[in-house]
Amino acid sequence: MFLNAGNLAGRAVPRAFAKTLAFPAIRTLATVSPINPGSRGHKVVVIGGGSAGLAISHQLLHSGKFSQDDIAVVDPAEWHHYQPGWTLVAGGLKTKEELRRRLETLVDPKLKLYNVGVNAFAPEENSVSLSNGDKISYEQLVVAPGVSVDFGSVKGLPEALEDASSLVSSVYGFNYCDKVFRNVDQLKKGTAIFTQPAGVIKCAGAPQKVMWLALDHWKQAGLYKPQNVSESPIKITFATGLGGMFAVPKYSSVLEGFRKERGIEGLFQHDLVAVDGNTATFARPDGQEQVTRKFDLLHVVPKMGPHAFVKNSALANEAGYVDVDDGTTQHKKYPNVWSAGDASSLPTSKTAAAVTAEAPVLVRNLLLARDGKQPDAVYDGYTSCPLLTEYGKVLLAEFKYGGVPKETFGDLLGVDQAEPRRAFYHLKKSFFPWVYFNSMVKGTWGGPKGWIN
């Protein structure tokens, strides 16, 4: 989701970018369409009003090929959240309230918003059953509802999160992301454990971002001494169900270096399965005995996966994700079905940045298919993770399929993005949230390609 400086030539940067982000001026609100038993069909139905759903539906609208209500968006949510910003909340840099908008204010009035959930898909008859029992039909279907965060995947976690007095938190929920910084600020001594599960999660760098910011906070408070951990009031452990720090070798080696330099204990292939009081229990691979650890602060990343209405449908692959071609985003069995974002089977990291590259490919190919032509746009797996490594610095990881780096500024300016930089920090903290609400969800931001349409 990155800025190509070449796209700024001759373009004035809006004054809002330089200000502390707050709620932007709200335009005329979209009318939330009621669900009526006789609802007509639509040329395109987009399931999901998140990053992917809104970007795709608005890019389709901007093509000029659709009239009022030709495109429908289906999502039961009242609020749309800029979830990449929750790590900023965890670091005390933002409030969670400034990173959300009412969904209906982000949907163009020319789109029809069904503010309800999905019950089931019927791809053989080109229809979708809604949670209130109604059906809508489509010519083309885009499935982009994101994934579900399963707090119940860790025994005892829901209760610990709800307990305001517990030092257990998670950045992966609106109700809990602000608890992270409160807990970090409250801890004065003891053992802090930061976890990451095995399996697919949204923004795989977030578990580390929270840890690096916490470490820097304690360092500045004199509670953590990276060069003399034995004398530090606070000790830090990173427990991950994975075998390394990051999936991309280039960035993983740098992050592993930081872990060692900063005195963080690494527990690899340790998958958190239970929380009981101040005890964390980890599963080990291949039937090895479980490991228990005492903690004074615990940051938990629960397991995630596809929503049941996707997983249990004819559209899903064996893992439960919408089964689409890695390049074209077109469904492998149903040619009028498409998917992007976290719900798709695209084998790349699940980030908002990935959506900026996926959406234009999906939109072009869907429009070609409507005209009876073969899809010709190809998604190369581009995704990104702006890794906060301390206050004021970000390691800007950008890569494509196969874990191959694809760095915007490396190609443009010859800089090594594996080196944390202050300029990247300002992108993460200020520019990305601004461009997200003012451009990306409106279908006019193309990530490394800059503004589109």
Q: Is 371 exposed, middle or buried (0-12, 13-18, 19+ CB in 10 A)?
A: exposed
CB 439 within 8 A of CB 449: no
* Residue entry with tokens 């429009």: 367
385 tagged catalytic: yes
d(CA 336, CA 313): 16
Among residues 193, 203, 367, 440, the one annotated as catalytic is 203
Among residues 136, 283, 385, 387, the one annotated as catalytic is 385
Query: From residue 16, how far is each of 19, 198, 433, 437, 453 by CA, in Å?
Result: 5, 40, 11, 12, 21
d(CA 41, CA 19): 43
203 tagged catalytic: yes
Q: Which residues of 413-434 are buried (b: 16+ CB within 10 A; e: fewer)?
A: eebebbebbeebbebbbbbbbb
Residues near 246 by beta carbon (within 8 Å), at least 6 away in sequence: 204, 205, 208, 252, 255, 397
Q: Which residues of 226-248 are buried (b: 16+ CB within 10 A; e: fewer)?
A: beeeeebebbbbbbbbbeebbbb
The DSSP element (H or E) to which 135 belongs, if any, is strand 135-143
Sign of the CA dihedral 83, 85, 88, 89?
negative
* Residue entry with tokens 């077109």: 330
Residues recognised as catalytic = 203, 385
